[in-house]
Chain A
Amino acid sequence: MRVHTKRTLPVVAVASLAAPTSVWADWTMNMSPGVTGTSNQIFSLHMTILWICVAIGVVVFGVMFWSIIAHRKSKGHKPANFHENTVVEILWTIIPLAILVAMAIPATATLIDMYDTSEAEVDIKVTGYQWRWQYEYINEDFGFFSSLATPRDQIENRQAKGENYLLEVDKPMKVPVGKKVRLLLTANDVIHSWWVPALGVKKDAIPGFINETWTRIDEPGIYRGQCTELCGKDHGFMPVVVEAVPQEEYDQWVAEQREAAEQERLLTEKDWTMDELMERGEQVYASACASCHQSDGSGSPPAFPALKGSAVATEDRAAHIDIVVNGVSGTAMQAFGSQLSEVELGAVITYERNAWGNNTGEMVTPQDIVDYLSE
């Protein structure tokens, strides 16, 4: 936040709004210059065009207010009768054109630079889901989902809101400082848009398409952003958090992630008890299912049916597995087979069949899911 006090001054002047003295340390009025070369270039374009507009505004509104004050009928001003002047008209066509050309040159240079995704050192595939992000480190064989970490109680005003309200996730995307990171963006359902203001990166994640963009973060830190394309009911609740760390820390983290991914695969073969599945299932349910079906299983019909006491969650077990794994086409119910591991699928289905009074007593183990998928 170091930049804010300094940079807000021009805009304060433009807006001629008196800034209340700082009770709210954190609010800003202007774009942040950010922490990447791109974001700094964008910031300087932004300030240049802003000042050009201010200058034009001062001239045009200056003449206008001069007339408003000096050429009033109540002051006895008699109207002139001129209604054209070729020279003036040509001038005020040519001069703006020249200003625009001058502005287009740096804008073009920045744009060309932003489109150069070659020679990246880290590749991350970013997939938008309703309503979370998946990050796959495609050269490292691991990936994970990143979901909103703000508790529901804060959103519903039952609890005081935390410092990073709505801008915090359970697991941020980590990148090494000073390395060119290429992002490959796509989406699983509807169009999302991945934006981190401090990086100067915003790109749409479109189902069926892969968009490319890149960033190189110069300073270690945590940078927060949000989805910026309306993507349904929880569009406001899918933040983006990027953590830039030094290379050694990054390498260590990657090693841990690969190890954890390996562990997860081994878990499939473990003998699970009902309690273990229920505990794991509750976590999975909270991050993957609760935003639609609600944490108490009551849903919000008709778009999001209740699970509590429903036929799906209490009767035919195979049909339940099928819906969770393959989704229901034409509805908001996604195919979770590609999003969750066998362990997670088994746990969450077990949870749904035994929580909120759905006491079927049935267990769905990770092995059951493996069997189902191999059928």
Chain B
Amino acid sequence: MSAVAESHSQEHHHGPASGITRWLLTTNHKDIGTMYLIFSFAMFLLGGSMAMVIRAELFQPGLQIVQPEFFNQMTTMHGLIMVFGAVMPAFVGLANWMLPLMIGAPDMALPRMNNWSFWLLPCAFLILVSTLFMQGGAPNFGWTFYAPLSTTYGPPSTTFFIFAIHIMGVSSIMGAINVIATILNLRAPGMTLMKMPLFVWTWLITAFLLIAVMPVLAGVVTMMLMDINFGTSFFDASGGGDPVLFQHVFWFFGHPEVYIMILPAFGVISHIVSTFSRKPLFGYASMVYAVGAIALLSFVVWAHHMFTVGIPLTGQLFFMYATMLIAVPTGVKVFNWVATMFRGSLTFEAPMLFAVAFIILFTIGGFSGLMLAIAPADFQYHDTYFVVAHFHYVLVPGAIFGIFAAAYYWLPKWTGHMYDEILAKTHFWLSFVGMNLAFFPMHFLGLAGMPRRIPDYALQFADFNMVSSIGAFLFGATQLLFLFIVVKCVRGGEKAPAKPWEGAEGLEWTVPSPAPYHTFSTPPEVK
């Protein structure tokens, strides 16, 4: 509590409450951000340990460790926990911590709702995870829960799963409303929309996506709830319903959802690349327009997940063209990042390492996405390991590396200490090698004909599966190192200055490190 607190000493300042009530009742954006981040890392480890079970079973052909019923529960829970428990809350945590600091606001606009949005999450996941211990087991129909496998043929715990999704949806929608209210109302004087940092821009757009599609998810699970418990037939063909309707509604949510998981990372990477290149971001305006374009296009491409369900030829063509179009704004972003690095003065601290890996590996995931967009070729790729490789390439080095990059970038601001650079670089290289070893061979498996979501496979897939499992174990074990690095950084380490990175820009670096409990009680002036 130095510079800022002293310069506003006439105001009444108080620190956090003590004990458990600090965390239960807090309305402070930094506390809530911290809780979101801790929760998301806990879920990351839980979802990750399920991935370890999956990879252990797939280490060799034959059934060794788990039976198919349990294997399906693991793939389902892994997906749900990683998407809704790890990635989304991590970005909300980053938003909570950083948005007010980046726009010069004292807190989020709706602090009490903020508290509630967070505390709903542990409740939702308690319900979801408890299904593992129920009779009949946890949901076993994949994270996409296609009807009628999830309705007529679902386990009894499906109703609990639906309730958990509802609660997560409420939490996400409230979080998104809070982000929009904060960004639109609490910016420091002089910070026009086109002066906002990119992380703020990408989160603003992400929040609109969330508000648009989370109710659609709530709708589709409610229809399931009715089909299961109240005798309706939305998705039951024998009652006049339509199983394909489920997929249309689900993917109308599902496709924007994948951009929800990546757009905030685009923002983070833009800051980090510029900082460690010691050069302003290339094409700020086109970055903003590109994110907007990606968000708009994300609403008209959903059926590319459904090329094999038998939609009419004209529909097929429309969704193919629209999907291919997304490559254009995404390409613009990648070109801008590379142009930012070009003729900069580059250093490679941990955040930059993760950011550079993000650009390379996310682009590879983008390439396989472009391949998947070609509808006739998709007939061969669809529901094989090629798809698994594709979305892990955009989500692991995309969303997850983006989050790691952000964590290392802002840890000095959060804790007041520098993290251990050598350990962090070790974390990066082990993650990088493990991740590529785990997911690159999946491209070959898919092209060679291995379907996804199978607990056992034909012999010609054995070698690459073993390589993939070894990579996955390496990647999984490495994440415990991250926990150690963060704990070590919180407990001590070299004192961090207010602006620990030479090339960094933005309001968050004008407050001391660690950021005081209350910041920007008087808004700063932006020129």
Q: Mark A177-212, 1 if CB is under 8 A from B, else 0.
A: 000000000000111010101001111101111011
- CB < 8 Å neighbour of A100 from B328, B444, B464: B328
Question: Which residues 314-364 of B sit at the A interface, judged by CB distance below 8 A?
Answer: 316-317, 320-321, 324-325, 327-328, 331-332, 334-335, 338-347, 356, 359-360, 363-364
A88–B339 CB distance below 8 A: yes
Q: Which residues of B contact A60 (CB under 8 A)?
A: 334-335, 338, 363
Contact pattern, A 213-237, Cβ under 8 Å of B = 1, otherwise 0? 0000000000001111111111111
State A105–B68 Cα separation when bound (angstroms). 42
| Closest-CB distance, B246 to chain A (whole angstroms) | 9
Does A114 reach chain B (CB closer than 8 Å)?
yes
User: A27 with B464: in contact, given A45-B376, A79-B343, A111-B375 (CB under 8 Å)?
Assistant: yes
Q: Range of interface residues on chain A?
A: 35 or more
Contact in complex: A29, B346 (CB < 8 Å)? no
Residue of A31, A77, A236 most packed against chain B (CB within 10 A): A236
User: Would you call B292 an interface residue if the criterion is a C-beta within 8 Å of the partner chain's C-beta atoms?
Assistant: no
B146, B283, B341, B356: the one contacting A191 at CB < 8 Å is B146
Verify if B390 is at the interface (C-beta below 8 Å from A): no
List residues of A (104-156) whose CB comes within 8 Å of B's CBs: 104, 107-108, 110-112, 114-115, 130, 154-156
CA distance A20 to B463 in the complex (A): 10
Interface string of A312-352 (1 = CB under 8 A from B): 00000000000000000010100000000000000000000
Given known contacts A68-B346, A115-B313, A165-B61, A207 and B148 CB-to-CB distance under 8 angstroms: yes
Whether A370 is near chain B, meaning CB under 8 Å from some CB there, is: no
Q: Determine the residue in chain B with the shortest Cβ distance to A61.
A: B360
User: In the complex, are the beta carbons of B308 and A83 less than 8 A apart?
Assistant: no
Given contacts A107-B376, A228-B451, contact A206 B345 (CB under 8 A): no
Question: With contacts A74-B347, A111-B320, A226-B451 known, is A208 near B364, CB below 8 A?
Answer: no
A163 to chain B, nearest CB (A): 8
Q: Which of A61, A165, A208, A225 contacts B449 (CB 8 A)?
A: A225
B136/A302 in contact, CB under 8 A: yes
A159 to chain B, nearest CB (A): 10
Min CB distance A170 to B, Å, is: 17
Interface string of B438-476 (1 = CB under 8 A from A): 001001100111011111111111111000000000000
Closest chain B residue, CB of each to CB of A226: B451
Q: Which of A154, A202, A212 lies in contact with B308, CB distance below 8 A?
A: A202
CB 8 Å contact bits of B487-505 with A (1 = contact, 0 = none): 0000000000000000100
CB atoms of A100 and B324 under 8 A apart:
yes
| A167 proximal to B (CB < 8 A) | yes
Residues of chain A from 92 to 111 with CB closer than 8 A to chain B in the complex: 92-93, 96-97, 100, 103-104, 107-108, 110-111
Bound: A81/B241 CA distance, A: 60
Interface residue total, chain B, C-beta cutoff 8 A: 99
Residue A300, interface by CB 8 Å: yes
A17 neighbours in B (Cβ, 8 Å): 440
Q: Which of chain A's residues have a CB closer than 8 A to the CB of B281?
A: 83
How far does the alpha carbon of A191 sit from the alpha carbon of B440 in the complex, in Å? 29
* Contacting pair B453 A79 (CB below 8 A): no
Q: Does A375 contact B (CB under 8 A)?
A: no
A268 within 8 A of B: no
Partner of B316, one of A111, A166, A225: A111
B454, A300: Cβ atoms under 8 Å?
Answer: no
- Is the CB–CB distance between B347 and A227 below 8 Å? no
Closest to A12 in B: B444
Contact A200 B344, beta carbon cutoff 8 Å: no
Contact with A along B278-322 (1 / 0, CB 8 A): 111111111000000000000000000000111001001100110
A30 at interface, CB cutoff 8 A: yes
A207-B243 contact, Cβ under 8 Å, with A15-B440, A82-B282: yes
The answer to whether A234 and B379 have CB atoms under 8 Å apart is no
Whether the Cβ atoms of B360 and A235 lie closer than 8 Å is no
The answer to whether A30 and B447 touch across the interface, beta carbons within 8 angstroms, is yes
Q: Which residue of A lies closest to B237 (CB)?
A: A208
B380 touches A197 (CB 8 A): yes
Chain B residues lying within 8 Å of A265, measured Cβ to Cβ, are: none
* A62 smallest CB distance to B (angstroms): 10
Residue from the list B279, B313, B324 in contact with A81, Cβ < 8 A: B279
Residue of B nearest to A162 (CB): B459
Hey, which chain A residues are within 8 Å of B458, CB to CB? 164-167
Looking at B99-107, B149-157, B171-179, B183-191, the stretch in contact with chain A turns out to be B149-157
User: Is B129's beta carbon under 8 Å from chain A?
Assistant: no
Q: Mark A43-87, 1 if CB is under 8 A from B, else 0.
A: 001100110010011001101101110011110011111111100
Name B169-211 residues within 8 Å CB distance of A.
Answer: none
For the complex, what is the distance from the CA of A193 to the CA of B423, rounded to whole Å? 47
The answer to the question of B63 belonging to the interface, with a C-beta cut-off of 8 Å to chain A, is yes
A203: B residues at CB distance < 8 A: 308, 310
* Complexed CA–CA distance, A56 and B327 (Å): 12
- Does A330 contact B152, Cβ atoms closer than 8 Å? yes
Residues of B within 8 A of A63 (CB): 338, 342
Known A45-B376, A157-B62, A167-B458; 15 more pairs at CB < 8 Å: A30-B448, A41-B376, A42-B377, A49-B370, A68-B341, A71-B346, A79-B277, A103-B374, A107-B374, A164-B458, A190-B148, A200-B380, A233-B69, A235-B68, A236-B456
- Show 8 A/B contacts (Cβ-Cβ < 8 Å), sorted by A: A71-B277, A73-B346, A74-B347, A92-B335, A96-B327, A161-B459, A233-B69, A233-B140
B→A interface (CB under 8 Å): 61-64, 67-69, 72, 135-136, 140-142, 146, 148-149, 152-153, 155, 237-238, 241-244, 277-286, 308-310, 313, 316-317, 320-321, 324-325, 327-328, 331-332, 334-335, 338-347, 356, 359-360, 363-364, 367, 370-371, 374-377, 379-380, 382-384, 440, 443-444, 447-449, 451-464, 503
Interface residues of A (CB under 8 A from B): 11, 15, 17, 20, 24, 26-32, 38-39, 41-42, 45-46, 49-50, 53, 56-57, 60-61, 63-64, 66-68, 71-74, 77-85, 88-89, 92-93, 96-97, 100, 103-104, 107-108, 110-112, 114-115, 130, 154-157, 161, 163-167, 189-191, 193, 195, 197, 200-204, 206-209, 211-212, 225-237, 300, 302-303, 330, 332
Top 9 closest A-B pairs, CB basis? Answer: A208-B237, A236-B454, A53-B367, A211-B310, A228-B383, A80-B343, A79-B345, A29-B444, A110-B376
